Structure 1
C-alpha cells in the first residue's frame, strides 16, 4: 500500500504541478527589515545563500512588503500609510507606471532607476543560481484609482472602473480590492503578471487575500500566472486561511498561511501545531500549508515587531521550531538577516538529513498531542521508513515515548537521530527518551527483517 501511495505521490508531482512540487526553501526580507529592505541587503542575503545554503536546496530570495514605498521619516515602522491631500491625491506617491502597476522605489532599489523594475536585481539573483520573488498587496493602488490610470489590455477601461472601493485592507491603506466581475479586472492582473514575468520573477506572495478569503481574486492571480508564460509560485497570506476553503486553495495556490504572523514566542509554536492539525492531509506536490517564516537569526533590524535582536527562542526551541516545520512539510522561508547568522543558526539550516524530512516525505500526521507532549510522523518517500518527531512541550525535562506498532513498524526497529546524524541502535516495540524542556527529537525509523 505504501508503495502505491508513493507512486501516486510521484505521479502527481510530474503530471500537473510544475511549481512547488516540494515545499519551497528560501529567504524573505520581512522579519529582519520590515517595509524598508534595500537592494544591497537583498544582495547580501542572496550572496550568503549562494555561498552557504544553496547546496542544501535553499533557492528563493523574496523581497517583501512595500518595495514601491519610500518610507519617509514620518511613516510608522511596520505600518506604513499614505495621506490624502485636499485634492484627493496621495502622499507619499508610490512608484507606479502609467498602467497603475507599482514599480520598485529607486531610493531603495537603485538598479530599478529609469523604469528597469526588478529585472536587474532578478538577474543578479539568478546569476547566483537562485530564484527571485516579490511580495505584493491584493488589488489595485488607490492612487491608480484616483489617477484613473489606463488598464493595459482593456481598451477604454481605467483603474476606477475595476476597483471595489468597499474592499480595503484593515491594516494598510494603499490598495483597493478588484471587482473580478468587472471587465478589465482580469486584464489588470494579467498585466501585473506580464510585468513580473518580464522581470523574471519566480515567486509572488500576495498579501491581504487569505483572511478574509477572497476567492475570486485568488482565482484571478492563478489565471494570470497561467497566462504569463513563466512558471511562478503563488503564495497567499496572511492566515488563518479558512479550512472550509481547503479544496479551493489547494487548486489555486501553491502555499497558504495557516495562521497570522508567526514570531519568536514559545506559545506560538504550540499554537502552530494546533493550526497544523486542522490542515493535516492538505499538503502535497504543488500545494503546501504554510507555517510562516523561520524566526532564526537576527530579526527586526528595521522593524516590524520589537527591537533589533537575535531570535528570542532558546537553542532547544529553535531546534523544535525547525523540527516541526520539517516534519509538517511546511515551506521554509528564513526570516533572519543571514549575513549575521551565528554558527548554531547555520547548523539548523544546513543539515541535509533534517531538510530531507521536509522535502522528501509523505503524509505528515499527528499521532498524539496534549499540553505536555506531541508526536508527529511522516513516511519516507520510496521506502517503508518512517520519520518520527517527538516534542516535549513542558517547561522541564520529560520522557516522551512511542509505540512502533501504532505507526506500522514491526519487529526490531533501527533508529537514527537526524540532528546528530548518528544511529541510536535497534529497539523493539517502543522507544522512549528524556527530552529537554521545549525540546525535540527527530528520528528516522527502519524496520529490520530477521
Structure 2
C-alpha cells in the first residue's frame, strides 16, 4: 500500500474554477502570495495549476482542436513561455515552483492521461529507449472530452518509460502534487499503476490526485488506496445547490473509508470569485447563498474530503475568506475519525464523527428550501447525554442543552433521561457542532473516536 504523506486531506487552491485553461504565472503567484499571507496558518498549503498550461492558444469556455502544445524533443509537455515567462529557455516550472516553495507552500500541476497527439504526429522518441511515440500510442483509448492526448498501450514497456520520463521531469522542476485527469471514467487501472510507479521511481515525494470520478464505485477502493493520495467521486462541481446536494449520497458511501491511506474527493470548492476566464459561466461571485456555502464546507469537512479552493483568492469577498480561516471548523478535517452519515429523513441529514479526548462532532443539514427549527435528542446526533459544552463552530456560539424528564410537544422524540438541543437551520443550511466533555467525565465506551 502507498505510504501516506499526511494524516489529513490535502488543502490548497486550484486555478480551474476561476481561470480554466488560461491561468498565467502572475495570477498563480498572486494566489500563492495571498495563501501564504492569509491562509497558510490554517492548513492551506498547495497551489495547483490546472489543465492546458502548455497550450499557447488556450481560451475560456472550452478546449481547442489540434492545439499547438509546447513540448520537448521527447514529447513531454512544457509550459507555454508566453503565459509562464520564467519557464523560457528550457527551465520549465522550476523557477515558479521555487518561488512558491519560498512562500512556504507546495506546488502542483494538472496532467492528462496518455501522450500528446502532437507527439504522435511528430513520432517523437521516448526518453531512454529505442522506441517512439507511434510504438506506444493507443488512439482508440483517447479521452472523450479533451482532444489533447491519446492513450498508451501498456503492453509495450516504453509506455511505462514515457510516464517515467515525464514524472522525472516534473520532479526536477520541484512538483509536489500531480492532478492526473481522465483516469477514472472509464477506470484506467493500467495508467493509474504506471503513473504511481513513475512517481515512486522519480525519487520525489509527490501526491497523486485522480479525476474525474463521476459515480465512482467502491469496488476500486483498495486499488485506489494502493496507488493514489486522493480520487474524485463525482464530476465537476459548480456553484449550484443541486451539485452540492448530489454529493451527500456519494459522501455517505465513501466517507467511512477516508483515511491517511487515501481521501475520497468531492471536487474543488467553487467559492469566491470564479468564472473569470473559466470553462463554465462568466465572471462572478459564486452563486451559492451564505447558508449553502456553510453546508458545502461542513459536508466536505466532516466527510474529510480534500479541500481545494476554486475562487481567485485576492478578489474573493472577505466573508468567503473568513470561512476558510475558521480554525475550529478546519480542525474537524484534521482531527476527526469515523465520520459518517447517521440519519437521513426528508430534508434532514445528520452526520457524526469522533474526536480526541472524548470530543464528538456532529453536523446537521437542512436540504429544504425553507428555514426550519427542530428539537433533537443529543444522542441522535451521536453526542453524549452527559454534561458538557456544545459549540456551533461556524459562529463560535455555545448552545444550551436541556434535560428531559417527560415527553412533551416541545421535545418530541427526545427520550426522558436524555438532553434536548434546539437548532435553527437556514434554507439549505447547516450547523457544525463540537461536544467537549466536562472535565470530570470519561469518554463513553461507544465513542466514535475509535472508529474509521
Q: TM-score normalized by structure 1? A: 0.91
- Residues 1:306 and 2:281 are matched in the alignment: yes
Deviation at 1:179, TM superposition (A): 1.4
Which of 168, 172, 192 matches 2:146?
A: 172
Maintained 8 Å contact 2:362/2:383: no
Q: Paired residues, what number?
A: 423
Q: CA deviation at 1:427?
A: 4.6
Go from structure 1 to structure 2 and tell me whether the alpha carbon gap of 1:118 and 1:59 turns closer, same or farther (over 3 Å shift): same
8 A Cα contact 1:210 1:237, kept in partner: yes
Among residues 33, 38, 41, which one is paired with 1:52 in the alignment?
Answer: 38
Q: Rate the CA distance shift 1:71–1:369 in 2: closer, same or farther, 3 A.
A: farther
The answer to whether the aligner puts 1:82 opposite 2:65 as a matched pair is yes
Compared CA separation, residues 400 and 141, structure 1 to 2 (3 A): farther
Shift of 1:206: 0.5
- CA distance in 2 between partners of 1:51 and 1:393 (Å): 35
Q: Within 1, Cα distance between the matches of 2:222 and 2:212? A: 18
Aligned counterpart in structure 2 of residue 432 of structure 1, from 422, 426, 433? 422
Question: Which residue is 1:266 aligned to?
Answer: 241
**Matching residue of 1:185:** 159
CA offsets 1:376-403 (integer angstroms, 9 cap, x no match)? 11111x3221111111111111134443
SS in 1 for 2:150: strand
CA RMSD of aligned residues (A): 1.6
Name the counterpart of 2:22. 36
Residue 434 (structure 1) shift = 1.7
Decide whether the 8 Å contact of 2:350 with 2:362 is kept in 1.
Answer: yes
Aligned runs of 1:136-175 on 2, under 5 Å? 136-154=111-129, 156-175=130-149
Q: Is the 8 A contact 2:36 2:105 kept in 1?
A: yes
For residue 22 of structure 1, report the CA deviation from its aligned partner.
1.1
Tell me, yes or no, if structure 1 residue 418 matches structure 2 residue 401.
no
Unaligned runs of 5+ in 2: 404-417, 442-452
1:238 to 182, 207, 212: 212
Q: Is the 8 A contact 2:271 2:320 kept in 1?
A: yes
**1:218-297 pair list within 5 angstroms:** 218-240=192-214, 241-297=216-272
Counterpart-to-counterpart distance in 1, 2:144 and 2:2 = 36
Aligned equivalents of 1:159, 1:352: Cα separation in 2:
49
Structure 2 partner of 1:443: 433
Determine the structure 2 residue equivalent to 1:121.
96
Alignment CA distance shift 1:180-1:16 (3 Å): closer
Taking the TM superposition and a 5 Å limit, the aligned residue runs for 1:100-111 are 100-111=75-86
TM-score w.r.t. structure 2 length? 0.90
Does residue 1:213 correspond to 2:206, yes or no? no
Unaligned runs of 5+ in 1: 1-14, 84-91
SS in structure 1 of the partner of residue 89 of structure 2: coil
- Check conservation: 2:117, 2:149, Cα contact below 8 A: yes
- In the TM superposition, structure 1's runs of 4+ consecutive aligned residues that sit over 4 Å from their partners are none
Partner of 1:341, secondary structure, is coil
